Amino acid sequence: MLNTQPSIAPVGAMPKARPSRPPLIDVEGIAMIWLRDMTRLWRQRSRLVGGIVRALVWLFALGFGLRRSIVPIAGLSYEQFVFPGIIAMTIIFTALQSAISIIWDREFGFLKEVMVAPTSRSTLILGKCLGGATSSTLQAAIMLVFAPIASVRLTTLNVLEVFVAMFVTALALTSLGIVIAARMTDFEGFGTLQNFITLPLYLFSGAVFPIRGAPVWLQVVLYINPLTYGVNAIRGALLGYGAAEIPLDLALLGVFTVIMLSVAILITRREV
Amino acid sequence: MTIQVENLSRSFGTLEAVKGIDFEVGRGETFGFLGPNGAGKSTTIKMLCTLLTPSGGRAIVNGYDVVCESGFVRQSIGIVFQEPTLDEYLSAEQNLRYHCMIYHTPRNTRDARIREVLQLVGLDERRKDLVKTFSGGMKRRLEVARGLLHQPQTLFLDEPTVGLDPQTRRSVWEYVLRLREATGLTIFMTTHYMEEAEYCDRIGVIDNGRIVALDTPAALKRMVGQDVVRLTTPDVERAVAEASRWLGYPVYCEGDVLCVEGENGQVLAAKLISHLTLADIEVRDVSIQAPSLDDVFLHLTGKAIREESVGAKERLGARLRSHGRLRR
């Protein structure tokens, strides 16, 4: 076992070059974190089943369970109306989950490696945001396969549009998750998070009922919730319902993402 | 000097984890911090690795200040953490490749370098396998390989073999010692295993945030006494007379056992046996008792290191948490 002859240069023989300072935006470092998330998504693809089943349960329970009890909304049957909401649900669950995974990953896992690497803290945050958003978008995209069940027609154009809408929504929610993760020190709060953040954000986002017609106080809540704009954009792209507001929705989500990422970078800078 | 530490301290709230320590580590030296958990070892290593800002004092690693030149320090050191930090869902090779990316090692040498370090720790044949299929010892070796990937000048090992069985521990060390030989690397390690501390050129015994002794393992052992050679002989009275006349200092007996103290037990025993045999005194049995680092630790701190280990860790952990300042 010990018979290989490695040819590592003795340390003393190496010229002592001053290593270069890490760049402010470390493209290669960000790419590494993104690549790792993609590799993990592929290696753990059997885990995707859980998310798909959860989404289908909601689709059948709501879409088909409530179909007869709810009058068509703007000419859309309820299962059509709720289908984009189910996609948004997949995004919020997966985006927050991947952001929260940072907590144990940096205490007991691979990210601890990244924490001591010669790179700025923004690398971790930007890489994780892109990785989480990409994997979240891909998982949500799987749900598009079930569009015919909900009588939602897919065209090349609206699929492209919905991908953009899903990705921007996923960026916003992942960045929100990262801020939460940066503040959380243990993961006992994980269940709490599901109950107090994920579910309310999902239910009060216009995913399962139209904003118009809701009481005023509820409308205020809905407009504060970033996911509302994501649901709007995805629904606009898929069904044309509220399509005119898509650019505004995406712009607001973009601004939200930038604010969240800045906050996350500021919080983690102050650490140690 | 590879590491220079002056009056380094770190407090968590009102708890002083490290209370102003000084030491230096030379180039190519293997330096160990020995002490129970909670003594301040991990806090010190974290400060040297720029993971924790010192509350006071100064530390220079590979010529760079750990506070104002942390980026340079990070590029020049390799770290193997106490807890595993490999991604189990990636292959060995992928773990190393990602390390290269975040350390920005030259792209054209990456493949060769990855193969080289994998060969060094005997894992080249398993390079395509997922890390989750590896044994505990293999994972540790892969982490050591990863720590060396960017050609650091100093390797930090924080409790490198904790949680491994003694056999695996020895095998991990075989590899570490071999690469020390091959590279002339400076190694800074912490441990609470005595047999691991023996691999060090010098040891700092740390207790309660202070360095209570710092010397070579042999010198530390001399602090608590010399080796004792015990020879069983049927003619113990003549043996005592013969031995003390030959050595020039008094020896004693316990029953029919001749007891001789001296610096190097093995050499002393060999010489005594041949001398007594020449004087026609039969030697039936021989044993050599050397002072252990356990004895040193007991002597210095008044407590045995093992019994202390779990309790102390929990105590420090609990105290840190109650201060609400456990590293975030």
What pLDDT sits at residue A12? Answer: 41
What pLDDT sits at residue B291? Answer: 82
* Amino acid occupying residue A166: M
Rounded mean pLDDT of chain A? 85
Pairing of strands B77-80, B154-158: parallel
Q: What is the rounded CA–CA span in Å between residue A177 and residue A182?
A: 9
Q: pLDDT tens digits for B108-167?
A: 999 999 998 998 888 999 999 999 999 988 998 899 899 989 989 999 998 888 778 888
Which of A17-21, A75-79, A122-126, A239-243 is predicted least confidently? Answer: A17-21
Give yes or no for residue A24 having a pLDDT over 60.
Answer: yes
- CB of B93 within 8 A of CB of B121? no
For helices B136-148 and B92-103, the axis angle rounded to 10 degrees is 30
Q: What is the rounded CA–CA span in Å between residue B269 and residue B294?
A: 23
User: Which residues 6+ apart lie within 8 Å of A169 measured at CB?
Assistant: A88, A91, A227, A229, A230, A231, A233, A234, A253
Cβ neighbours, 10 Å, residue A225: 19
Q: pLDDT tens digits for A205-254?
A: 988 888 888 899 999 999 999 999 999 999 999 998 888 889 999 999 99
Q: Is A17 on the interface with B (CB under 8 A)?
A: no
Count of residues for chain A? 272
Count of residues for chain B? 328
Element (H, E) at B231: strand B227-232
Q: Collect the ranges in chain B with pLDDT lower than 70.
A: 303-328
Q: What is the rounded CA–CA span in Å between residue B328 and residue B317?
A: 13
Give the tokens for residue B131: 């890390």
Comparing C-alpha atoms, which of A264, A187, A172, A158 is closest to residue A225? A172
Q: Is A123 on the interface with B (CB under 8 A)?
A: yes
Q: Is B123 on the interface with A (CB under 8 A)?
A: no
Cβ neighbours, 10 Å, residue B127: 17
The full set of domains in chain B, from first to last, is 3-221 (3.40.50.300), 226-289 (3.30.70)
Q: Is A35 on the interface with B (CB under 8 A)?
A: yes
**Three-state DSSP class for B208?**
coil
Please give the angle made by the CA atoms of A220, A173 and A87, to the nearest 5 degrees: 85
Comparing C-alpha atoms, which of A92, A101, A82 is closest to residue A40? A101
- In chain A, the percentage of residues whose pLDDT exceeds 70 is 88
Q: Is B47 on the interface with A (CB under 8 A)?
A: no
What pLDDT sits at residue B181? Answer: 85
Binding-face residues of B in 5-34 toward A, CB within 8 A:
27-28
Q: Is B53 on the interface with A (CB under 8 A)?
A: yes
Q: Are the beta carbons of A14 and B119 separated by less than 8 Å? A: no
Pairing of strands B252-254, B257-262: antiparallel
Q: Are the beta carbons of A43 and B328 separated by less than 8 Å? A: no
Give the tokens for residue A23: 């760049």
Q: What is the rounded CA–CA span in Å between residue B47 and residue B66?
A: 7
What pLDDT sits at residue B7? Answer: 94
Average pLDDT estimate for A21-29: 77
What pLDDT sits at residue A182? Answer: 83
- CB of B65 within 8 A of CB of B28? no
Comparing C-alpha atoms, which of B120, B114, B136 is closest to residue B174? B120
Give the tokens for residue B243: 């031995």
Q: What is the rounded CA–CA span in Å between residue A249 and residue A251?
A: 5
What pLDDT sits at residue A186? Answer: 64
* Amino acid occupying residue A225: N
Q: pLDDT tens digits for B181-210?
A: 888 899 999 987 878 888 899 999 988 899
Chain B residues near residue A36 by CB distance under 8 angstroms: 87, 90, 98
Q: Is A2 on the interface with B (CB under 8 A)?
A: yes
- Cross-chain CB nearest to B182 (options A8, A14, A116): A8
Chain A residues near residue B87 by CB distance under 8 angstroms: 36, 40, 109-110
